[in-house]
């Protein structure tokens, strides 16, 4: 059998099945095979228990039309000051009505505009009303309860009833409906449950609110929720949460990213506007990523998300710099923002006897959240004014004075204070990632610990392909090997809505549309790494690593930088990457092997320092036929890891790594 010829033709799942039937462990020794030597009795460092986490912000419709389960788009009519995007007037033949935005007598200051529906002509059979088309449709599933709510007041003789219905836009059939019998002429909240029957899942639906009598109705904050993860009110989409739960992430870095900063100070993530009942949240233009944010995913929702997935929060506080170059001068001008940051920390971690801890309790969560890490700003190297050094010091001093145990993260190098951690970001091609896996090997250990707070191999859109996953895996071997220094890392961006217009940033870990979601090969690479590592890094070395020649791109320059060379020297870059960790409890060794080449790679593994190695172990393998191969909304599981039992493990064995593959071998020894 010629497995490499077969490999070119067979889907990856089948290849793994074949390799199981015909174990790839072999004693075949090609001339100068790659050799990896593991010194199982030599520990070079500890693997940080927080090495793998998540980073999130409102980008690519991450929450609006994404994780946040709200189904009504433009629910507060604030997306546009003069138009009503995503709202349509609906009227049966013979009925007549109109709708408009109305700023007189709104529900409250946060909801400063309502939708006024004037029904001139209608009967119970010929109805008039408004419809919302959701985020690329409203998803419907069979035998499901949807919670609809809105605030309303009535006038011009109208006192009800109103019909609330989910209607299929293709067939015009009513999928679920309920009635609000009487309406008051004062603002009141109305809630109904819409229950679907035995209907096929579909996304081609709208929510309709209609009247069967003439009169006027004002609507505010119209909301529709499907069942949510852990049934949290104002909660999250269950399928996406499950994908995240499966990764077992250690932490969540939020709320950004550029979303934290906003284009201007006025459009930053102003956390105080994101707490309390959703009717009291004004929302804000997410101008960093060009769409409206309802702030339904507010500070407490981020924390609830952490709680649901047993992650610790890594809270990024606004530090006085916004993307279009506005910055707050350190000193008295910055003090209100320092206070905001302290209040925010108190809201998260203060007990209920504190002002903001009491506010959190009032908002429904009496217990403080565990908080260890606070990041001061985001990517402040963009601040060409040089103010970060002093802004950092001012915020650092204020936080440390009140919360000395908190670990504070700087977003770029500072000399005013010694940060506990430094946040490094890497967005690169697969070859760049592969060429730089030794980035931290020789790094200075006397400075701050490293938080790789955003990183990704950017190949493939909307989600990364296998080549990106290989770059990621190569890079992760480097982070894991240096995890005494790199104590936390998180890929970014996390999410993308793959519907047309949903993506602002190419190459995102998890994709979804209105009804379903999927993990990219890079998602599975992350999951493989996080679910399979020990707590100690083992000394490991290599011989005869295969390489390929690579021409790196010229260094990137920013305006004002001095001229530099147009090209950079060619490099020989390995096509085989590895690291080894050991679980000090079970004794299991996790050997990670990445073959980025398009051919099968035999690798000889020598394990020293163990008296006894069990012949039987486990392998988790993910491979592809081509580097461009990927998963998608229509082919969500084309490339996934497969676990198998392996035999023949010993102190010196050879294994054939499939082309374009990531392999983790679990080896038990004493």
| Residues of the shown chain interacting with ligand AHR in the complex, contacts defined by CB under 6 A | 57, 59, 256-258, 378-379, 454, 492-493, 505
With CA atoms as reference, report the closest residue to 297 among 213, 385, 232, 211: 232
CB 135, min distance to ligand AHR, A: 21
CB 458, min distance to ligand AHR, A: 10
Q: Judge whether 574 and 546 are in contact, CB under 8 Å.
A: yes
Q: Name the phi and psi angles at 653, rounded to 5.
A: -135, 165
Q: Output 135 or 254, the one with its CB closest to ligand AHR.
A: 254
Q: Output 57 or 64, the one with its CB closest to ligand AHR.
A: 57
Rounded Cα–Cα distance for residues 26 and 576 (Å): 18
CB 410, min distance to ligand AHR, A: 14
CB 372, min distance to ligand AHR, A: 21
Q: Output 320 or 493, the one with its CB closest to ligand AHR.
A: 493
With CA atoms as reference, report the closest residue to 153 among 128, 109, 184: 184
CB 456, min distance to ligand AHR, A: 8
Q: Judge whether 50 and 312 are in contact, CB under 8 Å.
A: yes
CB 493, min distance to ligand AHR, A: 5
Q: Name the phi and psi angles at 511, rounded to 5.
A: -115, 155
Q: Output 253 or 536, the one with its CB closest to ligand AHR.
A: 253
**Encoded tokens for 26:** 């072999």
CA angle 623, 658, 571 (to 5 degrees): 95
With CA atoms as reference, report the closest residue to 259 among 285, 294, 280, 296: 285
CB 321, min distance to ligand AHR, A: 12
The three state secondary structure string of 49-85 is CCCEEEECCCCCCCCCCCCECCCCCCCCCCCCCCCCC
CB 414, min distance to ligand AHR, A: 18
Q: Output 118 or 379, the one with its CB closest to ligand AHR.
A: 379
Q: Output 299 or 492, the one with its CB closest to ligand AHR.
A: 492
Across the strands, what pairs with 606?
37, 652
Q: Judge whether 229 and 180 are in contact, CB under 8 Å.
A: no
Rounded Cα–Cα distance for residues 522 and 662 (Å): 11
Rounded Cα–Cα distance for residues 423 and 256 (Å): 13
CB 257, min distance to ligand AHR, A: 3
Q: Does an H or E element contain 141, and which?
A: none
Q: Output 232 or 506, the one with its CB closest to ligand AHR.
A: 506
Q: Judge whether 218 and 116 are in contact, CB under 8 Å.
A: yes
In the complex, residue closest to ligand AHR by CB: 257
Rounded Cα–Cα distance for residues 560 and 554 (Å): 16
**Encoded tokens for 246:** 């499966």
Q: Output 262 or 546, the one with its CB closest to ligand AHR.
A: 262
Q: Output 218 or 495, the one with its CB closest to ligand AHR.
A: 495
């Amino acid at each position: 059998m010629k497995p490499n010829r077969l490999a070119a033709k067979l889907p990856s799942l089948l290849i793994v099945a074949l390799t199981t039937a015909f174990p790839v462990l072999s004693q075949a020794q090609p001339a100068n095979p790659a050799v990896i030597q593991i010194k199982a009795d030599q520990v070079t460092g500890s693997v940080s228990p927080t090495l793998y986490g998540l980073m999130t912000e409102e980008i690519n419709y991450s929450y609006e039309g994404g994780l946040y389960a709200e189904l009504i788009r433009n629910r507060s009519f604030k997306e546009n000051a003069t138009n009503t995007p995503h709202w349509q007037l609906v009227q049966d033949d013979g009925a007549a009505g109109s709708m408009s935005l109305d700023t007189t007598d709104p529900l409250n200051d946060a909801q400063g505009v309502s939708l006024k529906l004037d029904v001139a002509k209608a009967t119970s059979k010929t109805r008039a009303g408004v419809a919302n088309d959701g985020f690329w449709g409203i998803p419907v599933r069979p035998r499901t309860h949807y919670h609809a709510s809105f605030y309303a007041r009535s006038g011009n003789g109208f006192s009800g009833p109103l019909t609330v219905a989910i209607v299929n836009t293709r067939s015009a059939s009513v999928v679920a409906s309920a009635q609000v019998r009487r309406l008051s002429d004062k603002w009141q909240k109305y809630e109904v449950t819409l229950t679907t029957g035995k209907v096929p899942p579909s996304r081609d639906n709208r929510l309709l609110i209609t009247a069967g009598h003439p009169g006027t109705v004002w609507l505010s904050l119209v909301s529709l929720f499907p069942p949510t993860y852990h049934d949290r009110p104002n909660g999250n989409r269950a399928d996406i949460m499950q994908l995240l739960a499966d990764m077992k992430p250690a932490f969540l870095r939020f709320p950004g990213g550029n979303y934290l900063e906003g284009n201007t100070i006025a459009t930053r993530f102003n956390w105080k506007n994101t707490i309390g009942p959703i009717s009291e949240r004004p929302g804000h233009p997410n101008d960093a990523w060009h769409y409206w944010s309802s702030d339904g995913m507010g500070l407490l929702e981020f924390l609830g998300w952490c709680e649901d997935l047993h992650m610790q929060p890594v809270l990024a506080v606004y530090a006085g710099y916004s993307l279009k170059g506005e910055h707050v001068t350190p000193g008295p001008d910055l003090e209100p923002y320092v206070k905001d940051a302290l209040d925010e920390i108190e809201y998260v971690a203060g007990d209920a006897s504190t002002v903001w801890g009491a506010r959190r309790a009032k908002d429904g969560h009496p217990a403080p959240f565990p908080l260890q890490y606070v990041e001061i700003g985001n990517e402040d190297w963009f601040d060409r004014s040089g103010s970060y050094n002093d802004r950092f010091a001012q915020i650092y001093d204020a936080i440390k004075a009140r919360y000395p145990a908190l670990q504070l993260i700087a977003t770029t190098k500072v000399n005013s204070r010694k940060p506990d951690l430094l946040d490094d970001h890497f967005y690169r091609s697969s070859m760049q990632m592969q060429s730089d896996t030794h980035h931290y090997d020789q790094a200075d250990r006397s400075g701050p610990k490293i938080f790789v707070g955003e990183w990704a191999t950017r190949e493939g859109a909307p989600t990364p392909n296998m080549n990106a996953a290989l770059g990621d895996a190569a890079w992760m071997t480097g982070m894991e090997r240096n995890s005494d220094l790199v104590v936390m890392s998180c890929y970014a961006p996390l999410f993308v809505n793959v519907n047309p217009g949903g993506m602002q940033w190419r190459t995102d870990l998890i994709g979804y549309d209105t009804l379903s979601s999927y993990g990219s090969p890079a998602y599975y690479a992350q999951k493989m790494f996080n679910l399979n590592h020990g707590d100690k890094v083992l000394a490991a070395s290599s011989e005869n690593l295969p390489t390929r020649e690579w021409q790196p791109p010229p260094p990137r320059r920013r305006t004002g930088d001095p001229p530099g060379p147009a090209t950079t020297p060619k490099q020989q870059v390995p096509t085989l990457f590895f690291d080894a960790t050991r679980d000090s409890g079970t004794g299991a060794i996790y050997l990670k092997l990445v073959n980025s080449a398009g051919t099968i790679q035999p690798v000889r593994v020598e394990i020293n320092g163990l008296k006894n190695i069990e012949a039987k172990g486990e392998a988790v393998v993910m491979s592809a036929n081509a580097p461009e191969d990927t998963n998608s909304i229509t082919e969500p599981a084309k490339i996934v890891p497969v676990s198998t039992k392996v035999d023949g493990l010993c102190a010196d064995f050879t294994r054939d790594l499939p082309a374009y593959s990531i392999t983790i071998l679990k080896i038990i020894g004493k």
